[in-house]
Amino acid sequence: MSTHITVVGTIATDPKAIRFANGGSKCTFRLAENERWFDVKTSTWKEGRTNWFTINATRSLGENSLRSFQKGQRVIVSGKLRIREWEKAENKGLTIEVDADSLGHDLRWGVSNFQRAIKSGGEMGCDYNSHHSQASWADSTAPATWQAGNHAGQTDPSAVLYGANPADDGPVVASAGDTKATGDALSVDTSATEADSGGDLTSAQ
């Protein structure tokens, strides 16, 4: 039985696409959820620990997310919770992931203009190739520090806890159902298998 959660937080890394060997793809980024409350005694906002999530979105949701979101924006994510073990060199830990079913901007902090995606043939959907070249799927190194919100320049707390940072979750340890362990979680993995991508992803080519 899967666990579904809803998370509201700040995008801490540039959303990027990962392509799989079977032609499928996903959009992924790191999300920071801050514990924040108002202190009536001091009339100021207080902040506690930050929870970190890796957000994954596939198919049209992933394509539209890559076109819609940027680092520093507040978003709402609803999806399936997954916990992955990883190890890299002498470090190991857990990565909390959410396979998104729905994504959207948090309108408490700004405005958003919805546009229906149109395929080249005039059908409703996402004509991804008309907006992104193949170069947009190339991997790039994400920043090692979180620049969003009021934490500019601060290192991701997960780097202290697990030896990771927002751009590097470490290698994922293959579970019983995995075909292979992948490399860095946010790098382009052209050897990823059909099982890794969900088996029925639509090619972004």
Q: Residue 178 — very low, low, confident or very high, per pLDDT cuts 50/70/90?
A: very low
- CA–chain centroid gap for 199, Å, is 19
pLDDT at 118: 72
pLDDT in tens, 61-119: 999 999 999 999 999 999 999 999 989 888 999 999 999 999 999 999 899 888 887 76
Q: How far apart are CA 35 and CA 46, in angstroms?
A: 8
Residues of the chain with pLDDT > 90, as a percent, come to 40
Q: How far apart are CA 120 and CA 132, in angstroms?
A: 13
CATH of 4-162, one of 2.40.50.140, 2.40.50.90, 3.40.50.1700, 3.40.50.300: 2.40.50.140
Residue-range domain boundaries for the chain: 4-162
Q: Could you give the C-alpha distances from 184 to 28, 86, 141, in angstroms and in order?
A: 12, 10, 11
pLDDT at 148: 42
* pTM above threshold 0.95: no
